[in-house]
Amino acid sequence: MPDKREPAFCRGRAWIELDQKALRHNVGVLRKLLPDGCELMPAVKTNAYGHGAVLISRELNRLGVNAFCVATVQEGAELRNNDITGTILVLGYTHPKDFLLLRRYHLTQTVLDLSYAKILDRYGKKISVHVKIDTGMRRLGERSEKIEEISKIFECRNLNIEGIFTHLCVADENSSESVAFTHAQAKAFYDVVAELHQRGFICPKKHIVSSDGLLYYPELAENYARVGIALYGVLSTRADTERCGISLEPVLSIKARIALVKDLFQGEAAGYGLQFVASQDSRIAVVAIGYGDGIPRSLSCGVGSVLIQGIKAPIVGRICMDQMLVDISNIPNVKAGDVAVIIGQSGDEKITACDLAEQDGTISNEILSRLGERLERQFVGKKEF
């Protein structure tokens, strides 16, 4: 049976533990990379990459972080409703019907291009904005060569322009083409800033880099480093994490309860589609987490594993929405109520978000940001526990 002294949040079927020390450590090492005059502006969009936006932002506020970026106005409002202070930049599109929320919650909107600037301006009340410049990614932002259009953005009377920024798209790649492309992006951005200056327009805050940009081009960091993935202690892939040269510590662990243990006779099959067939008498555990919680179904049938008592137990059969089966034939004394580690450390073994990403053919960012609402999240290592 579950231990009565366990904190309530992890009496559930599956949960996320956040490591406060790891977050502090990552903030510390990333801050060391910042040039003078530059602050962290952590990306806490998509529920802080699945970690829990309010929990993470509150902790960051305590660590003196005073600027955040989110993807949507609703994400920004949620932070304000939980007393998060500082600048909150909305990176993405906001519907004109939601412009009032920008003002109500003191959010800063990204100007996506000149036509969006005009729509914001027509709202008729002052809105704080950062202007986005497209220097090569060809996603959001007015194209850097369209200096007349960019100047017109600066002429909008109702825009309180507090910043100007761009986004790098190959900062993680070290080929000579990618390095040249990144330098060209930076030059295009600085040319825009210089031209605006010539025309008498002031850009108070400038920012260019996200995680990879800060790691490999810290000289471009200017006033804000919009770090996301690195702050959470992993990079997109294992190779990136090994190459980056600084020690980041994963903030998140995922754990799930073993609902029951069951013996299978040789030749018996299990799970949807009976995809697992016991080649010998076997013992399986039903683990109370599934693809509904964000565990990729592609990890079914032996691709992924979980840790139980510091030993890897392969996922067998097809992962279901709320649970999955693991083979524990080689792990003695597993009982219902025991805990399986899906991401994190157990004994000397660990499984990282990058491992799951590799097995799923994606990047850790996608694994983390898809983690389900149903998982309760809590910092561990605090006095309360």
Ligand X SMILES: *Cc1c(COP(=O)(O)O)cnc(C)c1O
Q: What is the set of active-site residues?
A: 45, 272
Q: Does 168 bind ligand X (CB under 6 A)?
A: no
Q: Does 23 bind ligand X (CB under 6 A)?
A: no
Q: Does 211 bind ligand X (CB under 6 A)?
A: yes
CB atoms within 10 A of CB 232: 30
CA–centroid distance for 43 within its chain: 7
Find the binder of ligand X among 50, 163, 228, 294 (CB under 6 A).
228
Q: How far apart are CA 191 and CA 178, in angstroms?
A: 20
Write down how long the chain is: 385
Identity of the amino acid at 5: R
Nearer residue to ligand X within complex by CB, 15 or 224 = 224
CB atoms within 10 A of CB 278: 19
Q: Which stretch binds ligand X (CB under 6 A): 2-10, 225-233, 278-286, 326-334?
A: 225-233
CB of 222 to ligand X, least distance (A): 13
Q: Does 227 bind ligand X (CB under 6 A)?
A: yes
Nearer residue to ligand X within complex by CB, 47 or 305 = 47
Q: Does 229 bind ligand X (CB under 6 A)?
A: yes
Nearer residue to ligand X within complex by CB, 192 or 227 = 227
Nearer residue to ligand X within complex by CB, 140 or 307 = 140
Give the dihedral of Cα atoms 179, 182, 186, 189; nearest 10 deg: 160
CA–centroid distance for 127 within its chain: 27
End-to-end CA distance of the chain: 19
Q: Which of residues 289-348 bind ligand X (CB under 6 A)?
A: none
Q: Does 164 bind ligand X (CB under 6 A)?
A: no
Binding mask 29-68 for ligand X (x = CB under 6 A): --------------x-x-----------------------
Q: Does 91 bind ligand X (CB under 6 A)?
A: yes
Distances (CA, A) of 157 to 106, 120, 123, 353: 18, 10, 11, 46
Size of the site for ligand X (CB under 6 A): 11
Name the pairing type of β-strands 87-90 and 67-70: parallel
Ordered alpha helix ranges (H), 209-345: 211-216, 238-243
Nearer residue to ligand X within complex by CB, 226 or 377 = 226
List contacts with ligand X (CB under 6 A): 43, 45, 91, 167, 210-211, 226-230
